[in-house]
Chain A
Amino acid sequence: QDPQSGGTLNFVAPYGSSFGTLDIHSTPATQDEFPAKAIHRSLYDWNSAEGKPELELATNVEVSDDGKVFTYTLRDAKFHDGKELTAGDIIYSYQRIAHPDNAFPGARYVSGVVGIDEFVDGSADSISGLKAIDDKTLEISYKEPVAEPGYELMRVNAAIYPEGAAEAADFQTSPVGLGPFKFVENIPGSRITVEKFEDFYEDGKPYLDKINIVLLDDASARDVAFRNQEIDVSVLGPSQYVAYQADDALKDNILEVAEVYTRHVGFNPDYEPFQKKEVRQAINHAINTDLIIERLVKNKAYRATGWLPISSPAYNKDAVPYAYDVEKAKQLLADAGYEDGIEFEITATQNESWGLTIVEAIIPMLADAGIRVTAKPVEASVLAEVVPAGDHQAFMWSNVSGPDPYATMKCFYSETTRAACNYWAFDNAEFDAVFDEATAEADPAKKTALLSQANDIVQEEAPSWFFNYNKAVMAYQPWLHGLQQNATELAIQNYEDLWIDDTAPDSRK
């Protein structure tokens, strides 16, 4: 079936009940990406089919031999206000992101560029590593060699604004970008509406005339709304996953993808029992992880072996997860000197996929092995504060583990601080050696192999109970086509590829 143009899409933004600012540079919230993805574009974009970043606003990039200088040839593209894209717009956008007055999350994407330090401390007005050779040619120089700048520059927080646009008083209320859709209206707390941008740089796209991005974070309400055909897509939780699979009318329109998140219970080595590897392994053995995934998570997840997820290029397909073996667990505990078992507290949020629901399920299992666990519920914002601070005995979280395996594994490097992302205060000489080697390695394939090896060490050391890699599941109405299997975040779609067919109800035409 060929794509057809026209129609309205009711897309859903499920991660909160409001959109924050429309200035996407300033917000790292996933929720804010839903409208931003329609309105804005970045230099790179994620290619879901191939699982890697690719050039978006440039037609070509030349990399210097030392891997430090990237020269981009920009494509012909127009902003919503009719302005032509130039290298100046990109430099403007990146300097805005990095500007010391702005506490923008994207600042670190350009923190490796030459001249950034002078810019940040105020001694320079511009970043010297960003150069416009001409209107359509941009040169970015890095301080160190960079394998793939796309992993960071594809982020929508690094979107390209027309030069000076953000200084306009009404930018907040009517943002301008390069994206396939123009901003139309924002009903705070309810929805944002965007409409087709006729001058979008890809021919024939976008297909849709209009998208309503509606806010709906309550799963039950979303369920009703989806069944009621009020929305065209819905992100499903485990129980709905089962219900939808069991429902003949719904089961054919479910999209699944292995996302790059690892769900786990991290152990804090400051808590004495966790200093023993045997204890950590014992916990991995004491939990019937497969059963939880099957019965509680309803198979809406993939069993985790080590840290790196299935969709990671460095994933070890042959790795075997810790087996469920209570006796072995008891044995390991005894070996570590804890014949009478241990007790500890897991700090977790209410989240049903990586929070208290799971903790509740492992409590009786661990009890069988003599491990007494209590749950300490916290709010998400508190979890994100206590974990980097190390104020816990153990924590349950879902952490990004891709798509870039190098950035991911770096978190286990002993020099990475806890406050950055080494939440386990992981410090293993063997690991460090392998990782140093990977850092120095220029050949991508070998680098990947080394990272895979490092991942195996992490698995063996068991700084966490490795639970699962998320399987993101989205239900969509039968008339919707063109959804992509985005492993970085399934709900974030390139709207320009979506289209609806004639079977759509009248309200979508």
Chain B
Amino acid sequence: MRGFNFNLWVGGILTLVVICGAVFAPLLTSLDPVFDANLMNAELPPGREFWFGTDAQGRDIFTRVLYGAQISLTVGVVSQVINSVIGLTLGISAAYWGGWWDDLVNGLTNVMLAIPSLIFALAIMAILGPGLPSLLIALGLTNWSWTCRIARSSTLSLKGQGYVQAAQTLGYGDIRIMATQLLPNMVGPILVISTLGIGAAVLAEAALSFLGLGIRPPFPSWGSMLTNARELIVIAPWATIFPGLAIFITVLGFNLLGDGLRDYLDPHMRTREQ
């Protein structure tokens, strides 16, 4: 008997809304987030024409929030994919092969854990200069340690399982075993942590924007919208509220989805359903 998984549903719906907003942005708005700027319309409050009002440049905030979803999702998903690839590759191979490679990966993971990822990302952004590719690299290189740990511990426990040993005795190569026997069986926890990681990346983008190392304008990223509009909070509060809400809803969606997935995949945690 499986009850209503609140987290999974609400998280899924929120995430879906954000994804739809990003994908169908050109259909949902006729304006361009960059070039439809009219300074004569600057800082208009929300109304019939501009649902979320306009910003200091006279651009439609609704449009920019929609297109911002594309950027935020790109940042979140791509950086998380990079993280997962790094973390999984290192984690699985380290645990599978062991020895000095394991020690090395462990050491590296410890180092990565010890340096706060925001600071690491800050440093990488400072080297590469602000912009989307740098952001993807910075966030993609700095958050793989948890994935790596999970991959490593999963591998360690799976390694002793009969089917992995069976694959070895059947003559499978190491890489094939990692890809077909180990990887598919840690999809659950990795999916959970990746979902949470996407949310974290969206937040990190905002924090980096706040610290002055965000995305290349004029493309709308929620973090930079928020940071730039911060000073308008008295005269044009809508310019901060909507991108802020967008971040909140997106991250909330991914966090709930992650929790929901965890509940769904891990029966031990299915306590809420009693």
Contacts and interface: CB of A to CB of B under 8 A. Distances in A.
A257 B217 CA distance: 30
Contact of A364 (B35, B130, B230): B35
Interface string A200-240: 00000000000000000001100100000000000001011
B119 interface: no
A295 interface: yes
B56 interface: yes
A395 to B, nearest CB: 14
A219 B231 CA distance: 7
Contacts of B37: 360-361, 363-364
Contacts of B236: 239
Task: Give 4 nearest A-B pairs by CB, closest first.
Answer: A295-B39, A377-B130, A360-B218, A364-B37
Given A357-B56, A374-B216, A376-B131, 13 more contacts: A220-B231, A220-B233, A223-B231, A239-B235, A240-B234, A295-B39, A350-B130, A357-B228, A359-B217, A375-B218, A377-B130, A379-B126, A382-B129
Contacts of A295: 39-40, 42, 58
Nearest to A227: B234
A378 interface: yes
A375 B221 CA distance: 14
A192 B236 CA distance: 34
28 contacts: A237-B231, A239-B236, A240-B234, A243-B234, A291-B39, A291-B40, A295-B40, A295-B42, A295-B58, A296-B39, A296-B42, A352-B231, A356-B217, A357-B228, A360-B37, A360-B57, A360-B217, A360-B218, A361-B37, A361-B57, A363-B34, A374-B216, A375-B216, A376-B131, A377-B129, A377-B130, A378-B129, A382-B129
Interface of A: 219-220, 223, 237, 239-240, 242-243, 246, 288, 291-292, 294-296, 350, 352, 356-357, 359-361, 363-364, 367, 374-379, 382
B265 interface: no
A168 B270 CA distance: 69
Interface string B222-248: 000000101111111000000000000
A356 B219 CA distance: 11
Nearest to B209: A350
B268 to A, nearest CB: 45
A359 B235 CA distance: 22
B36 interface: yes
Contacts of B232: 239
A89 B58 CA distance: 57
A295 B39 CA distance: 6
A223 B230 CA distance: 11
Contacts of A377: 129-131, 214, 216-217
Nearest to B129: A378
A294 B217 CA distance: 21
Nearest to A386: B129
A376 B235 contact: no
Contacts of B126: 379
B213 interface: yes
Nearest to A350: B212
Interface string B138-167: 000000000000000000000000000000
Contacts of A246: 235
Contacts of A359: 217-218
Contacts of B130: 350, 377-379
Nearest to B131: A377
A350 B211 CA distance: 10
Contacts of A220: 230-231, 233
A377 B219 CA distance: 12
Contacts of A240: 231, 234
A385 B2 CA distance: 62
Interface of B: 34-37, 39-40, 42, 56-58, 126, 129-131, 212-214, 216-218, 228, 230-236
Contacts of B58: 295
Contacts of B230: 219-220
A433 B20 CA distance: 64
Most buried by A among B35, B37, B216, B231: B231
Nearest to B227: A350
Given A240-B231, A364-B37, A379 B213 contact: yes
Nearest to B239: A239
A361 B129 contact: no
Given A375-B217, A377-B129, A292 B39 contact: yes
A374 B35 CA distance: 12
Contacts of B233: 220
Contacts of A374: 216
A243 B35 CA distance: 27
A367 B32 CA distance: 13
Contact of B129 (A237, A243, A291, A376): A376
A239 B231 contact: yes
B215 to A, nearest CB: 8
A350 B223 CA distance: 13
Contacts of A237: 231
A239 B35 contact: no
A361 B39 contact: yes
- Of A240, A246, A359, A364, which is in contact with the most chain B CB atoms at under 10 Å from its CB? A364
Contact of A223 (B56, B212, B234): B234
A303 to B, nearest CB: 15
Contacts of A288: 39
B235 A363 contact: no
A295 to B, nearest CB: 4
A341 to B, nearest CB: 14
Nearest to B58: A295
B36 A364 contact: yes
Contacts of A360: 37, 57, 217-218
A379 to B, nearest CB: 7
A376 B216 contact: yes
Nearest to B134: A377
B255 to A, nearest CB: 27
Contacts of B213: 379
Contacts of A350: 130, 212
A296 B218 CA distance: 15
A70 B64 CA distance: 62
Most chain A beta-carbon contacts within 10 A, residue among B34, B36, B214, B232: B232
